[in-house]
Amino acid sequence: MSTVEAPLYPIAVLIDELKNDDIQLRLNSIRRLSTIARALGEERTRSELIPFLSENNDDDDEVLLAMAEELGVFIPYVGGVEHAHVLLTPLETLCTVEETCVRDKAVESLCKIGSQMRENDLIERFTPLVKRLAAGEWFTARVSACGLFHIAYPSAPETLKTELRSIYGQLCQDDMPMVRRSAASNLWKFAGTVESAHLKADIMQMFEDLTQDDQDTVRLLAVEGCAALGKLLEPQDCAARILPVIVNFSQDKSWRVRYMVANQLYELCEAVGPEPIRTDLLPAYVRLLRDNEAEVRIAAAGKVTKFCQILSPELAIQHILPCVKELSLDSSQHVRAALASVVMGMAPVLGKDATIEQLLPIFLSLLKDEFPDVRLNIISKLDQVNQVIGIDLLSQSLLPAIVELAEDRHWRVRLAIIEYIPLLANQLGVGFFDDKLGGLCMQWLQDKVYSIRDAAANNLKRLAEEFGPDWAMQHIIPQVLEIANDSHYLHRMTLLRAISLLGPVMGSEITCSKLLPVVVNASKDRVPNIKFNVAKVLQSLISVVDQSVVEKTIRPCLVELSEDPDVDVRYFAVQGLQSIDQWSVNTRPESFFLIHLASQTSSRRDSPINCPTTPLALQALISTLLPISLFPMDLDMDYEDDGFYAEIRRQILLLTAEDDDDYQETETNNSPPTRGAANLCRLRHASYFSWCAGEKTNSAPTWLSNLWRNDNSNRTGTGVFIPHINNSRRWRRPSRMRKRKNTQATTKQS
């Protein structure tokens, strides 16, 4: 492995950063803990790194969380399973911190390690740890202990097993409700490892205690474990011990407990036989469906289909269906919405006759519901009904519902129905769609809300995919292209968006003959926003059309735009021209040699860290990678070559490890103009000001195009273009960079 031979300098930096005052640096360092450990070697990791981490437990939660996670996979770095126990110490302290997610992660990691440890170590090291935590002074330790018993128990000798069971019993009766909650939610895990004799005696006793707890929250979690516990028991035991509890819970005073039962009931049905279902669980479920608390009905209604799948169709029709009818007229809209989202699934269970006779009226009444979510939920699951009875019976009432949703006052509702249009089109067929829905799809393109227009454009693309280019040519393209003459520039912009999406679907020929002329035409628009969007669309079409068309039509158009008075238009035009060049370079095989060369040159530098030109080298390297990752399909070279990738990865690692300040300078100086929605994410003070100055002297575009020409003329083939590099760099380490940047920006301003 090349990393072993890599200079130790970055490792020293990482170790140093473990102690840095900046939390972000500490966090980065912790995330690379495995790298550090590999560099230190197994022995020094055990004797130095792990003790250091054990004491480092007062850090920010984020760091502790990362540490707890990393330590879970640390066994290979401390010398394998025989040394796994050294990891217990840092994790034990993490089990007692006050932040719940850190504790949970530490417990999870401890379980991972414990499950790999040798039996001997488990008895000698792991079990004492569990006992220590269970006797902890602070409840946080006891909470964590509950999650570890199922690892410690199986390998323990008989006397220890008895002790562990009694400790768990004490935890179930702890003073702190938090501990009892943890004991309740981990009980089924522990129960899974306990021998069946003790299961029936000890564990069931604990379970019964927990189900009678004063605290509602403890009982809630006890319910959650019911189903899992039931599956461990024999069916007859389950019916005898768990069933009464569940039936009791289904009539609990607390609606929260009943809510949990409603959610869990069908799982429990799998544990008990069919007979108890009919005699006990079905009545309980029906009661829950008619509960007077809406929340409980919501939970119960959401499980209607799953419950029906367990029952025989007769029972379902006899007992459940009347409740479903009531629920469809429920006073709470949320109950109706929950029902609507699953009720379609009942159709396959009940069969065709019952569906037409009983369910259809329910569907129809829900389709006319005044609450849009209910209608949407029905429409989203249309396919399930279609399989059983066909769409025809529904289509009569479907259409008004769709039209009404399509014109709903709330744009989110409109957005939701647009999402379902392809599904509807699929189910309803081309003919129906043409008649009724085609107009709607066009109407949305001119909606007042951007998200709707955007979704509408996307919808057209999906429809074109669904029905094929020929259909689209006939039904979509003409109407879409008409928008080009719209007086509103936002509508014309939507057109461009639609074209960029439709282009790849329609194929090269239609794009060249129909779409491209419209785009080129739009490049003469008087609104700059249209023009730079043209540049963006053209850029996206490069990959769709032939090389010749690119050279003949797209390039001249972009060149023209690159001389536009508006800076944003120029920026995107130059970007478009850039990608034309990259495209043509990358489709030629000899370019790979150049890429190799670039990586070789940067790797030959003696010490990249001290080299002032490193940022540029890095930029070059990354920009060689960009086209590779963008167009992997067109390459005939073997990119699975591990050595090649490993080398590049190492280069990047080395380069990113170098000093930030050098980089900072290069970056701010070379920053491209940033304005406009597309660039918003890169908007920063420092570069923004430099750009403003640039605009006055009109130097920015010249500088940009010079940069491009230079790269082009000397043909290094790497296509260095700063914006890409900035992007990727920022993406790698976002928050850290942002932090630095802000401070720099303020100093510059002052």
Interacting residue ranges for another protein, rule: CB under 8 A? 19, 21, 44, 47-48, 51-52, 54-56, 58, 89, 93, 96-98, 100, 137-140, 176-178, 181, 214-218, 252-256, 292-295
Contacts of 478 (CB under 8 A, 6+ apart): none
Task: Work out how close the CB of 231 gets to another protein at its nearest, in angstroms, rounded to a whole number.
Answer: 28
Contact 724, 626 (CB under 8 A): yes
Task: Work out how close the CB of 294 gets to another protein at its nearest, in angstroms, rounded to a whole number.
Answer: 7
Q: Long-range contacts of range 11-17, CB-CB < 8 Å, 24 or more positions apart?
A: 11/35, 11/36, 11/39, 11/40, 13/657
Nearest in space to 508 (alpha carbons), one of 551, 468, 541: 541
Task: Work out how close the CB of 260 gets to another protein at its nearest, in angstroms, rounded to a whole number.
Answer: 13
Query: Would you say 212 or 318 has its CB closer to another protein?
Result: 212
Contact 373, 337 (CB under 8 A): yes
Task: Work out how close the CB of 11 gets to another protein at its nearest, in angstroms, rounded to a whole number.
Answer: 14
Backbone φ and ψ for 350, nearest 5 degrees, come out as -85, -20
Residue 722 tokens, joined: 């700063």
Nearest in space to 557 (alpha carbons), one of 583, 510, 513, 525: 525
Rounded distance, CA 339 to CA 302, Å? 6
Query: Would you say 50 or 187 has its CB closer to another protein?
Result: 50
Query: Would you say 49 or 622 has its CB closer to another protein?
Result: 49
Query: Would you say 97 or 577 has its CB closer to another protein?
Result: 97
Task: Work out how close the CB of 88 gets to another protein at its nearest, in angstroms, rounded to a whole number.
Answer: 10
Task: Work out how close the CB of 56 gets to another protein at its nearest, in angstroms, rounded to a whole number.
Answer: 6
Query: Would you say 60 or 435 has its CB closer to another protein?
Result: 60
Contacts of 56 (CB under 8 A, 6+ apart): 18, 67
Phi/psi class of residue 390: alpha, beta or left (left: φ > 0; alpha: ψ in -120 to 50)?
A: left
Q: Could you give the angle at the alpha carbon of 96 between the alpha carbons of 91 and 102, nearest 5°?
A: 65
DSSP H helical ranges for 123-215: 127-134, 139-146, 149-152, 158-171, 177-193, 196-198, 204-211
Buried-state track 3-26, b at ≥16 Cβ within 10 A, e below 16 = eeebeeebbebbbebbeeeeebbb
Query: Would you say 47 or 279 has its CB closer to another protein?
Result: 47
Query: Would you say 48 or 119 has its CB closer to another protein?
Result: 48
Task: Work out how close the CB of 472 gets to another protein at its nearest, in angstroms, rounded to a whole number.
Answer: 43
Query: Would you say 139 or 489 has its CB closer to another protein?
Result: 139
Query: Would you say 218 or 406 has its CB closer to another protein?
Result: 218
Q: What is the DSSP-derived secondary structure letter of residue 396?
A: H
Rounded distance, CA 560 to CA 535, Å? 10
CB atoms within 10 A of CB 617: 21
Cα–Cα distances (Å) from 437 to 349, 370, 548, 596, 611, in that order, read 31, 22, 39, 54, 63
Task: Work out how close the CB of 101 gets to another protein at its nearest, in angstroms, rounded to a whole number.
Answer: 8
Rounded distance, CA 572 to CA 626, Å? 18
Task: Work out how close the CB of 155 gets to another protein at its nearest, in angstroms, rounded to a whole number.
Answer: 24
Cα torsion for 735, 740, 742, 748, to the nearest 10°?
Answer: -160
Query: Would you say 18 or 402 has its CB closer to another protein?
Result: 18
Query: Would you say 136 or 276 has its CB closer to another protein?
Result: 136
Largest pairwise CA distance in the chain: 88
Task: Work out how close the CB of 280 gets to another protein at its nearest, in angstroms, rounded to a whole number.
Answer: 23
Task: Work out how close the CB of 58 gets to another protein at its nearest, in angstroms, rounded to a whole number.
Answer: 6
Element (H, E) at 443: helix 438-444
Query: Would you say 98 or 470 has its CB closer to another protein?
Result: 98
Task: Work out how close the CB of 330 gets to another protein at its nearest, in angstroms, rounded to a whole number.
Answer: 15
Query: Would you say 140 or 666 has its CB closer to another protein?
Result: 140
Task: Work out how close the CB of 217 gets to another protein at its nearest, in angstroms, rounded to a whole number.
Answer: 5
